[in-house]
Chains A and B, each alone.
Chain A
Amino acid sequence: MLNVGQINEGFVLDHIKAGKSMTIYHDLGLDKLDSCVAIIKNARSNKLGKKDIIKVECPIDMLDLDILGFIDHSITINIIKDGEITSKKKLSLPKQITNVIRCHNPRCITSIEQELKQVFILTDPKKEIYRCKYCEEKYSGKR
């Protein structure tokens, strides 16, 4: 059993697909935080076989969980306060994401007006399709 020190306030992101933790580390902006972050790769998991886990010690309103829902909504978030898990949160696909991904349509207005927010809207939750708010082009990049 691997033991990583307990955190007092923050998150434990569990059930991350094995190998995805570093992507999430960067997408959540954890590299920019002056907080204690532990990344556990390839931990044993009954459900997934192997999984990654991230522990972050930070105030709980500091992270944009919508981004996480977009990257991988099967991740479980354990919210820690006073050293205890106070709640578990299941992620769902966010209805809208802002400034997470970019529209690659060369005909989109965002291609010439760089200061516009990059907004994508979930148009088909079943097929997990996001479209650019402006030109409605489907996002077909990597998540």
Chain B
Amino acid sequence: MLTIAGQHFSSRLFSGTGKFASSQVMLDALHASGTELVTLAMKRIDLEQGTDNLIQPLTAMGVKLLPNTSGARNAQEAIFAAQLAREMLHTHWIKLEIHPDPKYLMPDPIETLKAAETLVEKGFVVMPYVHADPVLCRRLEEVGCAAVMPLASPIGSNQGLLTKTFLKMIIEQAKVPVVVDAGIGSPSDATAAMEMGADAVLVNTAIAASQQPVTIAQCFRQAVITGRKTYHAGLAQVSNQASHTSPLTGFLNELC
């Protein structure tokens, strides 16, 4: 069972709540996914229009809420956002994400490390979203992050495991859970990440923006279970040469 900061998760599929066509579709898809951890963002409310109350239905579903610091452009803003999240959602857990670049949403490694250090000191359970950089992941682990969340490819791009080689290094080295986040585009990507030994995957766009989010959520659920099971069972070795699976008795030659 996956454990992060003392909390156990029987599902290794984490999900975001963004980009769904409606709150109901989101809730149905999350339910179908079997996820136990979902991410949320924060926003200054529009007092004229109000805002959907997401927290109550999600809490009623029994999922753990993981607020993110999306929108933060530096460590200072991320720390501020984490404090807001703690008051709003009554949780010390924070998905630390700092991406000043609006085009590719690449996370800023230096600001992320700075913020992580401070947030850990302040008692937060920090789960940083980072590029698939093994050195950075190790540094984040050393300052006390509860997990690392390296990206597979740019956020929302559905390009899959473009960083595969580096994800493997991170998984090999990490002593904290590795959650592959961002860019996972299909259930087969999720399976591949889990087969590599990732502890969990976080999927949002691939479910929310699909034509049938509930069905795709079910597919991801199965994909993650399959990938984890495969990882435990151990795949056969890859070889550059052919190796026959049937006996070569040469009996056809004998018939001639």
Please say whether chains A and B are actual partners in one complex: no
Q: Which residues of A contact B (CB under 8 A)?
A: none
Which residues in B have some Cβ–Cβ distance to A below 8 Å?
none
